Amino acid sequence: MKEMLETFDREGNFVGVKSRTVCHSSNPGVFHKTVLIWMKNDEGMILVQKRSKNKKQAPGLWDTSSAGHVPAGETCLQTCVRETREELGIDVQESDFLLLGKSVENDSWEIAHTYLLKNNTKLEDLKIQKEEVDEVKWLNYEEFVELLHSEKFHDHGNNYSTWVAELLKDM
């Protein structure tokens, strides 16, 4: 079954519904929504995941705590809850997520919604989805920033990485 995504113009106005394949073509002409979730615990540690080596995009690279495309008929917050449950095995509520900001990604034709999730789940209590995630680890802020700006981390663009690092510093 094809994954269908709602599509939008640059300003976020609804345009229609297209397949994920069309949305990920070289020039779809419309944007689709994604969520990027950063999980931080009470000790200030940030959870990162290593993407499965079987992923089409950025295989084997470290990335956000959880992320995903917003399918047609689902809100960004519903996607946050679903992706966190699927990828990490954590049961959370929509109210657990704080929207940090939105950005329009011209290269990937995405409107990325970045969220913070405060959560103290221990690594041994996570149930990672092997098809999506190879590994997870908690990092202190300095370790996180070093990894975020390295070639081992999925490139979301320097402006995004700098913005996220500054935001997570004080959250």
Q: 106-150: per-residue pLDDT in tens? A: 889 999 999 999 999 999 999 999 999 999 999 999 999 999 999
Residue 140's pLDDT is what? 98
Q: Is the pLDDT of residue 1 over 80?
A: no
Assign 3-state DSSP to the chain and report helix, strand, coil percentages, each to 5: 25, 35, 40
The per-residue pLDDT of the chain, averaged, comes to 96
For the segment 6-30, what is each residue's pLDDT rounded down to a tens digit?
999 999 999 999 999 999 999 999 9
Q: Is the pLDDT of residue 2 over 90?
A: no
Q: Is the pLDDT of residue 171 over 90?
A: no
CA dihedral of 102, 82, 109, 161, whole degrees rounded to 10: 50
Asked if 26 contacts 90 with a C-beta cutoff of 8 angstroms, the reply is no
Topology, domain 4-170? Nucleoside Triphosphate Pyrophosphohydrolase (3.90.79)
CA–CA separation, 99 vs 170, rounded Å? 15
Average pLDDT over residues 24-45: 96
Asked if 7 contacts 31 with a C-beta cutoff of 8 angstroms, the reply is yes
Residues constituting the chain: 171
What pTM, to 2 d.p., does this model score?
0.95
In one-letter notation, the amino acid at residue 79 is T
Cβ neighbour number for residue 84 with a 10 Å cutoff: 26
For the segment 96-113, what is each residue's pLDDT rounded down to a tens digit?
999 999 999 988 999 999
Q: Report domain extents, the chain.
A: 4-170
Average pLDDT over residues 160-166: 94
Q: Is the pLDDT of residue 157 over 90?
A: no
For the segment 56-103, what is each residue's pLDDT rounded down to a tens digit?
889 999 999 999 999 999 999 999 999 999 999 999 999 999 999 999
